[in-house]
Amino acid sequence: MSGSLLGRRRILSKLALGACSILLLGSGGVAAAADSGDGTPDWDYAPSSRPAAGPEALAKANDNRPVSGKNLRAGPPFTKDSAGVWQANRTNVTLRNTVTDADGDAANLTFQVYTTDAAGNPKDQVKLTDPDTGQPAAYGVIVSDFVTSGGTAQVTIRYGDLKPNTTYAFRTSAYDGSLYETNWSSWAKFHTRGRAVSITLPEPKKDAPAVNQDGYQEPQKIAQPSIEAVPPTDPPIGRSASDGWNCGELNETTGIQPCSRLVPDSSKKIRDALTKGTNGVRAPLPHLVDWCANLAGSHIKRYEACVGSFNYEYEGIVIKDGRPTGEVLNASWAVGQEVKLAGTSATFTQQLVLVPVAIDPKFGSVTLNVEFDCLLADRCSNGPQSWNGALVWTGADPFSHSAVGKIDHTWNAANNADTLNLSTKITAYSPVATAAAMRWQADGAQIRCDKISSTTPGCTFYKYIPTWVMNFAKTPPAVAHAWLMQAKLPNHPGSEAAKKPLFYLPAASKNAHNRDPDDNRKVICPDGWAATYGNPEATTVPEISAGDKASCDEFAYASTYNSGGMPASMGGMNEVDTGNDCVQTYATRVKQGEWHLYDDLRAAAPTWKEVCGRSAMSGWINSTSMGGAFSSGFSTKYRMLDKDPYWVDFPQFAHCDASKVTVACTVPKP
């Protein structure tokens, strides 16, 4: 239709409408409607022809019709961009306009919404839903409540009627309970916000196997042991104490003063010695802890430790007339120490490997004496030593053998928990030189034994921070939610890269504050929240669990001091007033085989300054993602106690980029 023809049509339609209205109102009738009926947004029909707000009165002579204002607004936050388009931070948009009636009558407004074309002009009417009934609204429009003349009327569009990241146009018409405004208001445009989160996920697998948590526990490096001199101790004549030397008494007969020291040494020579043994016996040495092989420095896991490697040096300084002659007899051994604890026993084992590196023939022979101590003596007893290989090496055959010694220690389990330290002392002596000794202790490998995490006693290297890995194959949406919160929130809960561990909050009877972790949950996820307030598109899985219902998932977990529900007065790190302060998401199946984790478009987009996350999802997925898997497969397995730190890792999400404005990723990586 040409512009001139369309214009003529509008004028004729309005003239007909005016004449009809004057005639009928004068006789007490109802205003008729001119309706082009062609389905375009340019309809020039009287709103009374589609009386969504109610019928016009049969007798209203000389009454004034109400009028829409020119204050059309959309939001929240009810702000415009530079092009004059209202920017709504959600899809359940609130629309407003003022309305006046010359008679002072209260009036309401009918709100009509259209999509827009590429040029921004109204295109197709959006058939809106009645926000009260959830049913299609009459004529596809929404009617506000009555307001006083000059007041602002508003409606909120039901969630689901509008799409994200889309521009719409709306207009209004007034009704005072008797008469309609004859024309629609001018148009106003608004734009809904786009998604901040769109993570594509596979179907949950009910029978997916449990995650092997041990496979994700990498060795944690600790400081090398502290080394100290022990008696006998005499002032060194040919060596410096500042270099770590501890010297014994001068042998007046031979003129030799013995000195020894223990030097951390990760050189290839020492590592090869500890891996391959002596020159004469090249078979690999036995390992109490298999991952110690070829590992430099000292490391621990939750139940295992590799301490070393070291070079233990024993020297004979030749003295004449009270001064060193410059002649030095040398002997040294590569030293490796391994410790293996038991999660279900108060008895544990350590092994020491001694591999000769050099024995000066002038010593004749060198004998080593090893003492293993489990401190404190009243808490820990030592079993007998057993050695494979003599602790004597001759200068004539210095590389004849290595020596591997083992010893068991047992915690007396008299207390609910104790910390123990392992200390080792080596003393060397020879026929031509008296004894010299050194002792070492690895503080980073301090042991904690307890009967709290389980009534069965057990011991751990409690300074090791274990890593919890959720079962992605079984519960993809819950894992995606936890990853998103860890990656995007400024506190990065559980992130090893950010050095922000989670701190475990056990049952009330096992934590210092007698705090029930469920009380944390109730702050973020009150009972019934998901059913009443959670996103209605959250998908349940009754095919997996009959009667499955929507549930509320939080991260950081309720059983942590990092939970938003944990009071700061009890050591809580991220206390919030309610779960409304958290990032809001939900998990939905968009089609069979494809799930998404979305941000909730009923609220403003996340600022990513929040400190917690709350997500509506299947109750089976939520409970299965942690539940027994965490308690039996992790917290009990690794004997976690109150405030113990741990990491959370998400290996399936390694390819996802959380730095984008919209976090969009497909997992697993396609």
Q: Where are the domains of the chain?
A: 46-194, 200-215+466-666, 218-460
Q: What percent of the chain has pLDDT over 70?
A: 92
User: For residue 59, what pLDDT is reported?
Assistant: 66
pLDDT in tens, 248-283: 999 999 999 999 999 999 888 888 888 888 865 556
Q: Which residues contact 620 (CB under 8 A, 6 or more apart)?
A: 204, 540, 541, 544, 545, 548
Q: Report the amino acid identity of residue 573.
A: M
For the chain, the average pLDDT equals 91
User: For residue 62, what pLDDT is reported?
Assistant: 56
User: For residue 10, what pLDDT is reported?
Assistant: 35
Q: Are strands 433-441 and 417-430 parallel, antiparallel or unpaired?
A: antiparallel
User: For residue 14, what pLDDT is reported?
Assistant: 36
Are 46-194 and 218-460 the same fold in CATH? yes
User: For residue 52, what pLDDT is reported?
Assistant: 95
User: For residue 29, what pLDDT is reported?
Assistant: 31
Say which residue, 236 or 447, is predicted with more confidence: 447
User: For residue 378, what pLDDT is reported?
Assistant: 83
Cα four-point dihedral sign 120, 121, 123, 125:
positive
What's the start-to-end Cα distance of the chain, in Å?
Answer: 50
pLDDT at 531 over 70: yes
pLDDT at 553 over 90: yes
Q: Which residues contact 108 (CB under 8 A, 6 or more apart)?
A: 53, 99, 143, 144, 145, 146, 147, 153, 174, 175
| Beta strands in 118-222, from DSSP E residues, in sequence order | 122-125, 142-143, 152-156, 167-175, 188-192, 197-201, 220-222
User: For residue 415, what pLDDT is reported?
Assistant: 93
pLDDT at 32 over 60: no
CATH of domain 46-194: 2.60.40.10
User: For residue 42, what pLDDT is reported?
Assistant: 52
pLDDT at 317 over 60: yes
pLDDT in tens, 554-566: 999 999 999 999 9
pLDDT at 27 over 50: no
Residues 105-116, mean pLDDT to the nearest whole number: 97
User: For residue 282, what pLDDT is reported?
Assistant: 57
User: For residue 271, what pLDDT is reported?
Assistant: 86
Assign domain 218-460 to a CATH class.
mainly beta
Residues 233-237, mean pLDDT to the nearest whole number: 88
CA distances from 551 to 527, 536, 577, 622 (A): 9, 11, 20, 7
User: For residue 249, what pLDDT is reported?
Assistant: 94
Say which residue, 34 or 177, is predicted with more confidence: 177
pTM: 0.89
**Residue that has been written with the tokens 């939610």 in this structure:** 481
pLDDT band at residue 139, thresholds of 50, 70 and 90?
Answer: very high
CA distances from 565 to 228, 458, 488 (A): 47, 31, 19
